[in-house]
Amino acid sequence: MQIQSDYIVIDNVRSLQLALITLSQSDCLSVDTESSGYYTYYSKVCLIQISSRGKNYIFDPIRLDDVSGLGPLFENPAILKIFHSASDDIKALKRDFSFKFENIADTMFSSRLLDLEQNSLLYLVEHYHKVKLSKKEQKSNWEKRPLDKSQLQYAALDTVYLESIWEKMKEELTKRKLLDEALSEFKKLAEEESEPFEGFSITLEKFPNVLELSSDERRALYDTLVFRDEKARRFNKAPFRIWNNDKVLELVKARRDSAKLIESVGKKDADHLLSIYNNPGGPPIPKNDLFKRATEDLAGEDADRFKRLRQWRETIMSIRRMGHNLMPSNKNIAEIAKKNPKGIDELRELGIFSEWKVQNYGPSILNALQSKPYETTLTNLIPIKKKFD
């Protein structure tokens, strides 16, 4: 296939109509989006890039009143839609435009299934095409208008190589007898629903050097992050654009000094922070409370099943020579342990696994839950790594 990096901006009704007519005749679309999330609290899709038959379209939903015409293309089972990290793009497009999707491929998931060294699009383009893409506009403000030419060029390049990369990946997946597994995962990704955004979760364990703080400081840190989040939500700004982590830590250290707080954030915010620091939202936070897991509330038979499922997971990883990124998380297996499905249909209804995984992992999971031997049900699994490192 011929690869062209020129692009056509679709930002008016006439160009939209022409683009939709052309794209409706395609059998394959490479799709990506650019969103505002690096700048805003509530992320929204700012661009939709689609490449097909050597042409690259950049749809501008900020300038266009209605992009619903793309819906039939995304929903058409006769047209393949190729994404990189499909889950993110599909959930965003469903959230903002209520699109539905059928027949997709995901080069991100495929790169994991093929056990490539890295999974980023930059890596895949270099790996398959020996081309180094620029990272310059990676953290661009996609909501501003007009967009710079360099932004548009960067956006277009996100879809230019996807079809060629997928063709090469599909060939290798087929050769290694992994294609059915990939296609089943793609179907699940296409069906994932976008949950309403309720706000960012505040997790202290991810804050830099949090273990070096005292218990009192960690409480002040948590309360400061809550205040920052509320302010960010109010002004629809990314939290770190209200105060970055260095500023937050500076406020925590100055929590007893009103003059420093006023100098740092102004009197209004300083007064709020002083009130918070004088009336903490809870007790001091010791180190041990930082890393509580979703599985800590498991007890009795639930805890026993969870342990058996963890051992089951290790067995699968050993047989398939694979890492954790292709296996259910602790949160997932904790849910399975709690629900304790009695049959394949009940396991399927949990919505955790693709149909391929339900069929190929399901019998062994059910045996593990019942503390029965399961190794004999795992004889047909294909290794991910070709050989051990």
Query: Picking from 158-162, 176-180, 305-309, 322-326, which range would have the lowest pLDDT averaged per residue?
Result: 322-326
8 A C-beta contact, residue 52 and residue 1:
no
In a domain, 156, yes or no: yes
| Total domain count, the chain | 3
Query: Picking from 65-74, 110-119, 246-255, 375-384, which range would have the lowest pLDDT averaged per residue?
Result: 375-384
Residue 389 has a pLDDT of 46
What integer is the mean pLDDT of 215-219?
96
In a domain, 207, yes or no: no
Distance CA 60, CA 66 (A): 10
Which of left, alpha, beta for 236 (phi over 0: left; psi -120 to 50: alpha)? left
8 A C-beta contact, residue 156 and residue 49:
yes
Per-residue pLDDT band at 298 (split at 50, 70, 90): confident
What integer is the mean pLDDT of 363-368?
97
Domain-terminating residue out of 265, 289, 313:
289
State yes or no: pLDDT of 289 exceeds 90. Answer: no
State yes or no: pLDDT of 138 exceeds 90. Answer: no
Per-residue pLDDT band at 20 (split at 50, 70, 90): very high
If asked whether residues 369 and 274 sit together in one domain, one would say no
State yes or no: pLDDT of 388 exceeds 80. Answer: no
Per-residue pLDDT band at 296 (split at 50, 70, 90): low
The 10s digit of each residue's pLDDT in 37-46 is 999 999 999 9
Question: And the tokens for 132?
Answer: 């180094």
Find the domain containing 320 and state its range: 300-377
In a domain, 294, yes or no: no
Dihedral through CA 57, CA 59, CA 63, CA 64, nearest 10?
Answer: 110
- DSSP, residue by residue, 48-70: EEEEETTEEEEE-TTT-S--GGG
If asked whether residues 246 and 272 sit together in one domain, one would say yes
Question: And the tokens for 19?
Answer: 């683009």
CA-wise closest residue to 17 among 67, 58, 60: 67
CA-wise closest residue to 167 among 338, 346, 30, 17: 30
Residue 32 pairs in a beta bridge with 49
8 A C-beta contact, residue 16 and residue 10:
yes
If asked whether residues 233 and 332 sit together in one domain, one would say no
Question: And the tokens for 364?
Answer: 């062994």
In a domain, 3, yes or no: no
What integer is the mean pLDDT of 22-29?
97
Q: Which H or E run includes 30?
A: strand 28-35
The 10s digit of each residue's pLDDT in 165-215 is 999 999 999 999 999 999 999 999 999 988 888 899 998 988 999 999 999
In a domain, 73, yes or no: yes
What integer is the mean pLDDT of 99-124?
97
Beta strands at 45-52 and 104-106: parallel, antiparallel or unpaired: unpaired
8 A C-beta contact, residue 81 and residue 74:
yes
8 A C-beta contact, residue 1 and residue 163:
yes
Q: What are phi and psi of 214, to 5 degrees?
A: -80, 170
Q: Is 2 exposed, middle or buried (0-12, 13-18, 19+ CB in 10 A)?
A: exposed
End-to-end CA distance of the chain: 35
User: Which residues are within 8 A (CB) of 319 and not within 5 positions of it... i.e. 6 or more apart?
Assistant: 378, 381, 383
If asked whether residues 315 and 182 sit together in one domain, one would say no
Q: What are phi and psi of 59, to 5 degrees?
A: -85, 135
In a domain, 247, yes or no: yes
Domain-terminating residue out of 259, 289, 319:
289
Domain-terminating residue out of 289, 309, 342:
289
Per-residue pLDDT band at 293 (split at 50, 70, 90): low
If asked whether residues 157 and 111 sit together in one domain, one would say yes
What integer is the mean pLDDT of 349-374?
97
If asked whether residues 266 and 332 sit together in one domain, one would say no
Angle 242-244-248 (CA atoms, 0-180°, nearest 5)? Answer: 95
What's 282's domain CATH number?
A: 1.10.150
